[in-house]
């Protein structure tokens, strides 16, 4: 016969499946009602991926409830979290809410899974481990998403820094060939979409904002803020000053491209000069002990062989004892 724990698990699973099916039918019914009111067929899809202007409103009811419960938009942490997620490449309006949901799900789910696993492994353990391990797992669940987000931001920033110089050279060629600045951004974003996806996404977003009616300085500053890279910030400041003062854009971009190429060369030299310093630790830690042992081991063996018998005690009376007791 099944035990009480098996009955509870089966009942909980059955109730969960029934609730999920009912929610699914309810959402499907609401979707069909909306389609009927709009006069659309259920298999038709509105082209929302290529829309120029996008709304930040969250349509999912559960995510909207989480947003209202956590008050992510009204606090100072909400915009900061949305900005960090955008810098990591997650620009969808639901990204902050999903981040909060995943974080709390890990913080609650990891201790729950550990406690549930104790019922199947054996009898429940007692002591400090019963309290300490769930607390540690809860802390890991809260910290891990933040650590992964920071690593994603740093990786994307490094990728943009690596891709931007090549993209800038192509932009200089397009401008000097006679294209306007906006047309050059569009052409470069399309050309480097496969090889430099991060910079291409930045250029696509900026050109979409320009087409939507945003001013060029504001669109450029927004791109620099999303990238959070010093070279792009300097590039944006250069374009804004060039546009304000009426200087030739092609000449300014050519000069800045040469400076960036020289900067890349200096950074490569800096990394090359760091190699001897970085090699000191493995040399001292791995090679020096072996060399010292190889040099000192033969003399130590000879010394032990020559002076060892003289230092050993033969067991006979010493000279001082013989003189005192003839």
Domain 155-264 has what CATH class? mainly alpha
What pLDDT is stored for residue 85 in this prediction? 84
7-11, 39-43, 123-127, 147-151: which has the minimum mean pLDDT? 39-43
More confident residue, 73 or 127: 127
Res. 43 pLDDT band, cuts 50 70 90: very low
**What is the overall mean pLDDT for the chain?**
77
Please give the Cα distance from 60 to 227 (Å, whole number).
29
CB-based contacts of 60, cutoff 8 Å, min separation 6 = 94
Please give the Cα distance from 153 to 157 (Å, whole number).
6
Q: Domain segments of the chain: what residues?
A: 1-37, 155-264
The stretch 155-182 carries a mean pLDDT of 88
Does residue 69 carry a pLDDT above 60? no
Rounded (to 5) percent helix, strand, coil in the chain: 80, 0, 20
What pLDDT is stored for residue 124 in this prediction? 60
**For residue 283, what is the DSSP state?**
I
pLDDT digits (tens, 9 = 90+) for 89-127: 887 777 788 888 888 888 888 888 887 777 776 666 666
What pLDDT is stored for residue 274 in this prediction? 86
Does residue 74 carry a pLDDT above 60? no
Neighbour count for residue 230 (Cβ, 10 Å): 11
Please give the Cα distance from 198 to 189 (Å, whole number).
10
Please give the Cα distance from 202 to 200 (Å, whole number).
5
Taking phi over 0 as left and psi of -120 to 50 as alpha, with beta for the rest, 178 belongs to left
Neighbour count for residue 239 (Cβ, 10 Å): 19
What pLDDT is stored for residue 42 in this prediction? 43
């Amino acid at each position: 016969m099944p035990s009480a724990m098996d009955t509870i698990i089966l009942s909980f699973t059955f109730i969960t499946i029934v609730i999920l099916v009912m929610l699914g039918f309810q959402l499907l019914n609401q979707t069909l009602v909306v389609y009927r009111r709009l006069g659309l067929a259920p298999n038709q899809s509105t082209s929302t991926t290529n829309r120029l202007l996008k709304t930040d409103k969250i349509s999912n009811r559960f995510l909207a409830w989480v947003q209202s419960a956590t008050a992510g938009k009204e606090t100072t942490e909400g915009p900061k979290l949305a900005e960090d997620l955008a810098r990591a490449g997650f620009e969808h309006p639901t990204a902050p809410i999903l981040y909060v949901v995943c974080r709390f799900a890990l913080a609650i789910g990891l201790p729950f899974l550990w406690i549930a696993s104790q019922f199947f492994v054996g009898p429940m353990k007692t002591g400090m481990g019963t309290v300490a391990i769930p607390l540690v797992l809860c802390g890991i669940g809260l910290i891990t998403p933040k650590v992964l987000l920071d690593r994603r931001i740093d990786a994307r920033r490094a990728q943009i820094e690596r891709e931007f110089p090549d993209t800038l050279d192509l932009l200089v060629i397009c401008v000097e060939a006679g294209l306007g600045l906006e047309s050059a951004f569009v052409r470069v974003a399309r050309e480097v979409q496969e090889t430099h996806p991060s910079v291409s996404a930045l250029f696509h977003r900026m050109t979409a904002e320009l087409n939507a009616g945003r001013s060029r300085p504001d669109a450029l500053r927004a791109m620099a803020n999303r990238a959070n890279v010093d070279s792009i910030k300097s590039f944006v400041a250069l374009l804004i000053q060039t546009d304000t003062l009426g200087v030739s854009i092609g000449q300014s971009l050519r000069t800045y491209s040469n400076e960036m190429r020289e900067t890349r060369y200096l950074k490569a030299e800096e990394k090359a000069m760091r190699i001897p310093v970085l090699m000191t630790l493995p040399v001292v830690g791995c090679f020096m002990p072996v060399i010292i042992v190889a040099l000192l081991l033969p003399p130590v063996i000879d010394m032990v062989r020559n002076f060892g018998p003289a230092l050993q005690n033969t067991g006979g009376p010493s000279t001082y004892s013989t003189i005192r007791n003839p």
